[in-house]
Amino acid sequence: MTDASIDLRDYIRDVPDFPKPGILFRDITPLLKSPAAMSAVIDRLAAPFEGQNIEVVAAAEARGFIFAAPLAIRLNAAFVPIRKPGKLPFASHSLTYELEYGTDTVQMHVDGVAPMQRVLVLDDLLATGGTVDACCQLLEKCDAEIVGCAFVINLKGLGGEQRLKKYPLHSLLTYE
Cite the active site residues: 63, 100
Q: Say if CB 134 and CB 166 are below 8 A apart.
A: no
Check residue 21 and report its DSSP letter: T
Residue whose C-alpha is closest to residue 156's, from 134, 174, 139, 173: 174
Q: Are strands 92-99 and 118-126 parallel, antiparallel or unpaired?
A: unpaired
Other Cβ atoms within 10 Å of 43 Cβ, number: 15
Residues 47, 137, 60, 119: is their CA dihedral positive or negative?
A: positive
Whole-angstrom distance, CA of residue 161 vs CA of residue 7: 23
CA atoms within 13 A on the CB side of 61: 12
Other Cβ atoms within 10 Å of 1 Cβ, number: 10
